Amino acid sequence: MGTIRTAIGWKWDNSYTRLPETLYRMQLPTPVSHPQLALVNNALAEQLGLSIEELEVDGADILSGNKIAEGSEPLAQAYAGHQFGHFTMLGDGRAILLGEHIDPSGRRVDIQLKGSGRTPYSRGGDGRAALGPMLREYIISEALHGLGIPTTRSLAVVETGEEVLRETRLPGAILTRVASSHLRVGTFQYAANWGGADVLQQLVDYAVQRHYPDIKSGEGTALALLQAVIEQQAKLIAKWQLVGFIHGVMNTDNMTISGESIDFGPCAFMNSYDPETVFSSIDTGGRYAYGNQPQIAGWNLARLAEALLPVIHPDSTTALEQAQEAVMEFGKLYERYWLQGMRAKLGLQHEDQGDEQLVIDLLVMMQETKADYTNTFRDLTLGHIEEMSVAKHKDWEAWHSRWEERLHAQDADTKRAYELMRSSNPAIIPRNHIVEEVLEAAVKQGNYEQLEQFVEALQSPYAYTSEQQAYSEPPSEQVECGYQTYCGT
């Protein structure tokens, strides 16, 4: 397979290939029979400095892997991971990193094809992806971006013209994923187990230079990297919890060093508030349920700390003490960011000792009344108290009086409080039943119009427009009961 010149606008600078070869394998995508562009994220393409017109000309071939753009150096990355608590060797089993693109602002991003064929890390898999799961990732990643949550992005989905065999035969597709990088906790676990201290140190230096350039190189670099990742993940998980997002498969290979959300297989958004909510068909024990996500994040970060021990300090006892101290900070950081976000959702502009209890009391009432998480805060923002199921709770009036007193105590004019609430409480989220509706129209009928309209609405979730009303309705109990999501592999 040769390379082609294209006017799409790629500006490649592939720094990952300058790392030790044990961390990757050069690998070309496997060509497909009849690639066709199904979706192109024009806004993201423009941000990346790419030509939308040229994408329409060459995009199907390049973003399917049938042709390799000049300057691209395709590879598959090696990594390991704890999957549901069990450690295993992994790697890009169905993804190819085309290279790193430098956008007009000077930002470096990975351009990866997901579903582009077998690699040395496929472990018996076919290396392909089905259209439905790739469209799901497109929807969810763009929804998270609209919500202001750090995430990988989706540039395009290409239909391959081929079928993939899962439980049944399904139409195949390839997703183009854009990420600050694909460095994961599992990347460091791999380096620690199969690369040795020298490779591990090179990976640390690379991650620092790429994501945390303010960290000074030299002694203490690995510890500083660990602390920076802990901080970013505390912010990220708090943002997930604040909007009711359930990742579904928080394995260590799905936790990034950059602090971006990644890998949207069995993910979904919570409707009725319940910390035990879980949708993933493979999470039968509820390990990754909504209420467990902060604890699991802390557990994953402890695994990162373990991997970094050889380069944190030459004395193993000192290294362990420093790593433990760093990891212990995660819970405090998460609680701080979560409570800050909850204050904003309730319009509280300043801290007060009773704020946490105010929030907890509201959540308890929401759980007991099976109140819709998103719409409770939305209706509170709009003053639609009569529409709130939580208002039927026996303790509601007392709570509501406490909340109003708190609002007026900080400012007699509550206008700013409600402005804060409006910017913190989304009017819409990607409701599971609507996601399924637009996916069915796209996959079974080839109708992408509904999906594109839905994604467009999700780009402005705090707009509170009348057009968004149709997307804000929660599902009926009958529709939601037993709802499951699947990994997609």
- pLDDT for 82 equals 96
* Mean pLDDT rounded to a whole number for the chain: 95
Active site residue 253: yes
Distance CA 247, CA 137 (A): 11
- pLDDT for 123 equals 87
Q: What are the DSSP calls for 368-382, one per residue?
A: HHT-BHHHHHHHHHH
Distance CA 409, CA 428 (A): 30
- pLDDT for 305 equals 98
Distance CA 357, CA 347 (A): 15
8-state DSSP, 248: S
| Given the residues 110, 253, 283, 372, the one annotated as active site | 253
* Cross-strand bridge partners of residue 4: 69
- pLDDT for 212 equals 98
- pLDDT for 172 equals 97
> Minimum mean pLDDT among 60-64, 394-398, 481-485: which range?
481-485
Average pLDDT rounded to a whole number, residues 438-466: 97
Average pLDDT rounded to a whole number, residues 57-67: 97
Q: How confident is the model at residue 281 (pLDDT cuts 50, 70, 90)?
A: confident
Average pLDDT rounded to a whole number, residues 430-436: 95
Q: Is the pLDDT of residue 481 over 70?
A: no
| Angle CA 120–123–127, to nearest 5 | 70
Tokens of 189: 């676990």
Q: Is the pLDDT of residue 197 over 60?
A: yes
> CA–CA distance from 298 to each of 263, 305, 375, 447 (Å)?
19, 10, 29, 42
Residue ranges in 313-448 assigned as alpha helix (H): 316-345, 355-369, 373-382, 396-410, 415-424, 432-445
Yes or no: say if 125 and 131 are a contact pair by the CB < 8 Å rule. Answer: no
Instruction: Please count the CA atoms within 13 angstroms of the CA of 273 that sit on its side-chain side.
Output: 22
Q: How confident is the model at residue 109 (pLDDT cuts 50, 70, 90)?
A: very high
Distance CA 454, CA 139 (A): 8
> CA–CA distance from 149 to each of 44, 103, 238, 434 (Å)?
16, 20, 10, 21
Distance CA 162, CA 85 (A): 35
| Angle CA 186–191–192, to nearest 5 | 95
Average pLDDT rounded to a whole number, residues 262-269: 93
Q: How far is CA 96 from the centre of its chain?
A: 19
- pLDDT for 476 equals 78
Yes or no: say if 168 and 130 are a contact pair by the CB < 8 Å rule. Answer: no
Which three-class secondary structure state does DSSP give residue 404?
A: helix
| C-alpha torsion angle, residues 270, 276, 278, 284 (rounded to 10) | -170
Q: Is the pLDDT of residue 204 over 60?
A: yes
Q: How confident is the model at residue 475 (pLDDT cuts 50, 70, 90)?
A: confident
Yes or no: say if 81 and 152 are a contact pair by the CB < 8 Å rule. Answer: no
Q: What are the DSSP calls for 61-94, one per residue?
A: HHTTTSSEETT---EEE--EEEETTEEEE---SS
Yes or no: say if 42 and 52 are a contact pair by the CB < 8 Å rule. Answer: yes
Summarize pLDDT for 366-411 with one digit per residue, the tens: 999 999 999 999 999 999 999 899 999 999 999 999 999 999 998 7
Q: How confident is the model at residue 449 (pLDDT cuts 50, 70, 90)?
A: very high
Yes or no: say if 108 and 153 are a contact pair by the CB < 8 Å rule. Answer: no
Closest CA to 41 of 175, 224, 198: 175
- pLDDT for 280 equals 87
- pLDDT for 404 equals 95
Closest CA to 157 of 458, 439, 428, 437: 439
Which amino acid would we find at residue 160?
A: T
Closest CA to 29 of 71, 4, 61, 52: 61
Summarize pLDDT for 285-307 with one digit per residue, the tens: 999 999 999 999 999 999 999 99
Which amino acid would we find at residue 257?
A: I
Summarize pLDDT for 11-59 with one digit per residue, the tens: 999 999 999 999 999 999 999 999 999 999 999 999 999 999 999 999 9
Residue whose structure tokens are 């989304």: 426
- pLDDT for 478 equals 58
8-state DSSP, 171: E
Distance CA 64, CA 67 (A): 8
How many helices (H) and strands (E) the chain has is answered by 15, 14
The set of long-range contacts for 473-481, using a CB threshold of 8 Å and a minimum separation of 24, is 473/431, 474/271, 474/272, 474/372, 474/374, 474/375, 474/431, 475/271, 475/431, 475/432, 475/433, 479/433, 480/271, 480/272, 480/432, 480/433
| C-alpha torsion angle, residues 294, 93, 150, 241 (rounded to 10) | -30
pTM of the model: 0.96
Yes or no: say if 432 and 268 are a contact pair by the CB < 8 Å rule. Answer: yes
